[in-house]
Amino acid sequence: MASLTIRKLDEGVKTYLRLRSAKNHRSVEEEVRVILRELIEGREEPLTPFSAPPAPSTAPTPQRTGAVPEASVTLIIGGGIAAYKSLDLIRRLKERRIEVRCVLTKAAQQFVTPLAVSALSHERVYTDLFDPQSEFDAGHIRLARDCDLIVVAPATADLMAKMANGHADDLASAILLATNRKVLLAPAMNPLMWTNAATRRNVTQLQRDGVVLIGPNSGEMAETGEAGVGRMSEAIEIASAAERLLRPPVPKPLAGKRVLITAGPTHEPIDPVRYIANRSSGKQGFAIAAAAQAAGAEVILVSGPVDLDDPTGVTVKHVESARQMLEQVQAALPADIAIFAAAVADWRVANEGEQKLKKTSAGMPPLQLVENPDILATIAKLTDKRPPLVIGFAAETEHLIDNAKSKLARKGCDWIVANDVSPATGVMGGDRNTVHLISRKNGEKDGEIAVDSWPVMTKEQVAIELVAHVAKSVSGKSVEPAS
Ligand SMILES: Cc1cc2nc3c(=O)[nH]c(=O)nc-3n(C[C@H](O)[C@H](O)[C@H](O)COP(=O)(O)O)c2cc1C
């Protein structure tokens, strides 16, 4: 196995590793192991080490995809009858896309075999602190830290006593002393052991130390026929508690808000088979809709023709032309926030043919263009039902900031998200975007115009950032729900 000398790496890589390991509370060596594991598992995390730390995310919990684990747990199985339930716990964790590496105490091996645990976890099982095979690179430290959470189930009275007093004379207690991860204990013991003053003291101490306990439940004791408090929580309860610690509920800063979003191009018909269009893919507007929905908003997305799946949990109105888009936008009011990300055609054909235009010897038929309704200005200038926050997009190919500033004043909206859509940027149809948020200082109607330029980001990141700004701006202000 090759070893890596961090000292010999490029300065840039070293800085990246230091920042990332500090952020994740790991040593640099551990961070390298995690990065390698993520690479091997195909887990992709954008490498943006030198940018400012991201704003509090309103992003949705990542979707579970494929069979790639999204988190990992070191499961310590103690020596109690309830150890058999830990076999089910392994399965429950794995079905939640949580990778499980198991450690068995000496006593635990009297109740379940390493072979059964290994077969269920599809991983090597660890039993011995002085195992030359895993200790060649301090295996107990790896088990303590190369995971997102440590679960002890069953947590015996003995293991809890050792933990409360900082013992480290076997693999399980050494891991528990060496970890900087959250620890979840599922105690299981005879009711008299549980109520014993020594156990009470240990439980209090462990809770003070930040350890989380699930259970024990009350009920019959399998081994004695006695009843009382001491039964280990069911595997499904422990797995849910682990999941709550690993994936804390996402904050919903837009809960109770109604957000109207437009996206995509419009198609302006020339005749029944031909139309005028633009290169908008709808990706940015769809990403904003998904981010707003994940932030708890009720989202209505009015979309021109796009090749994208409707975002989950969003009401989508599909339209073709600018006039249809305006109709649907008006029908969706009132809203707390309106974000107009669609690339609406400025003009449509005045003399739209009812039949397919034919080639004639007279040459090309003249196309008369007339102006389309200005959806952003129409809604921003409403006196009745104007959403309290109206945001427009400005797609420009030159004089980006100047044009966006004058658009803000001309259209009467509150913010403009300006982006350069020159072909060289690859923004139109691409996955990344570089935007500038143009707004009035302190939100005052005639206040000085402020320009906030964001670094290049994916369209999803732009959406999350924009939704975070929106949430901050509208917190506490709400319109009456739509009838
Ligand atoms: C049949 C049997 C069942 C046991 N069940 C429990 C139990 O449920 N909880 C407990 O704390 N100890 C129980 N013990 C005692 C532990 O196995 C003993 O304290 C052991 O040293 C624990 O080791 P460990 O904490 O390293 O796993 C049991 C012992 C036996 C013989």
Quick one: which atom of ligand 1 is closest to the CA of 221? 8
Mean pLDDT of the chain: 86
Any domain includes 35:
no
What string of H, E and C letters represents the secondary structure of the chain? CCCCCHHHCCHHHHHHHHHHHHHCCCCHHHHHHHHHHHHHHCCCCCCCCCCCCCCCCCCCCCCCCCCCCCEEEEEEECCCCCHHHHHHHHHHHHHCCEEEEEEECCCHHHCCCHHHHHHHHCCCCECCCCCHHHHCCCHHHHHHHCCCEEEEEEECHHHHHHHHCCCCCCHHHHHHHHCCCEEEEEECCCHHHHHCHHHHHHHHHHHHCCCEECCCEEEECCCCCCEEEEECCCHHHHHHHHHHHHCCCCCCCCCCCEEEEEECECCEECCCCCEECCCCCCHHHHHHHHHHHHCCCEEEEEECCCCCCCCCCCEEEECCCHHHHHHHHHHHCCCCEEEECCECCCEEECCCCCCCCCCCCCCCCCCCEEECCCHHHHHHCCCCCCCCEEEEEEEECCCHHHHHHHHHHHHCCCEEEEEECCHHHCCCCCCEECEEEEEEHHHCCCCCEEEEECCCEEHHHHHHHHHHHHHHHHCCCCCCCCC
Encode pLDDT of 114-131 as tens digits. 999 999 999 999 998 887
Report how far ligand 1's centroid is from the alpha carbon of 79 (Å): 5
- How far is residue 394 from each of residues 167, 268, 281, 419, measured CA to CA in Å? 63, 20, 15, 6
Buried b (16+ CB within 10 A) or exposed e, 328-348: bbeebbbbbbbbbbbbbbeeb
Do residues 212 and 286 share a domain?
no
Any domain includes 435:
yes
Do residues 265 and 317 share a domain?
yes
Do residues 271 and 375 share a domain?
yes
Do residues 103 and 175 share a domain?
yes
Do residues 325 and 231 share a domain?
no
Any domain includes 170:
yes
214 pLDDT band (50/70/90 cuts)? very high
Any domain includes 229:
yes
Last residue of a domain, one of 185, 214, 246: 246
Q: Is the pLDDT of residue 85 over 90?
A: yes
Q: Is the pLDDT of residue 365 over 90?
A: no
CATH code for position 279? 3.40.50.10300
CATH code for position 209? 3.40.50.1950
Encode pLDDT of 171-201 as tens digits. 999 999 999 999 999 999 999 999 999 999 9
Encode pLDDT of 375-387 as tens digits. 999 999 999 999 9
Asked about 278 being catalytic, the answer comes back as yes
Last residue of a domain, one of 246, 279, 307: 246
| Ligand 1 pocket residue status of 189, Cβ below 6 Å | yes
| Ligand 1 pocket residue status of 188, Cβ below 6 Å | yes
Q: What is the pLDDT of residue 92?
A: 96
Do residues 173 and 271 share a domain?
no
Do residues 199 and 128 share a domain?
yes
pTM of structure: 0.55
Do residues 270 and 170 share a domain?
no
Quick one: which atom of ligand 1 is closest to the CA of 155? 11
Do residues 136 and 218 share a domain?
yes
Any domain includes 310:
yes
Any domain includes 62:
no
Q: What is the pLDDT of residue 363?
A: 79
Looking at 278, 372, 419, 433, which residue is catalytic? 278
374 marked as binding residue: yes
Contacts of residue 265, defined as CB under 8 A and 6 or more positions apart, other chains included, come to: 277, 278, 279, 280, 282, 304, 305, 306, 342, 343, 345
Any domain includes 304:
yes
Q: What is the pLDDT of residue 482?
A: 41
Q: Please name the residue whose Cα sits nearest to atom 16 of ligand 1.
A: 79
373 marked as binding residue: yes
Encode pLDDT of 225-270 as tens digits. 778 899 999 999 999 999 999 987 778 999 999 999 999 999 999 9
More confident residue, 430 or 122: 122
Q: What is the pLDDT of residue 5?
A: 65
Do residues 237 and 294 share a domain?
no
Of 413, 240, 450, 257, nearest to 335 (Cα)?
Answer: 257
Long-range residue pairs from 312-317, CB within 8 A, at least 24 positions apart, any chain: 314/289, 314/290
Do residues 208 and 278 share a domain?
no
Listed range (102-111, 231-240, 244-253, 292-301) with the worst mean pLDDT: 244-253
Range of the domain at 225: 71-246
Last residue of a domain, one of 212, 246, 280: 246
Q: Please name the residue whose Cα sits nearest to atom 11 of ligand 1.
A: 156
* Structural domain count, the chain: 2
Do residues 189 and 290 share a domain?
no
Listed range (130-139, 173-182, 215-224) with the worst mean pLDDT: 130-139
Any domain includes 52:
no
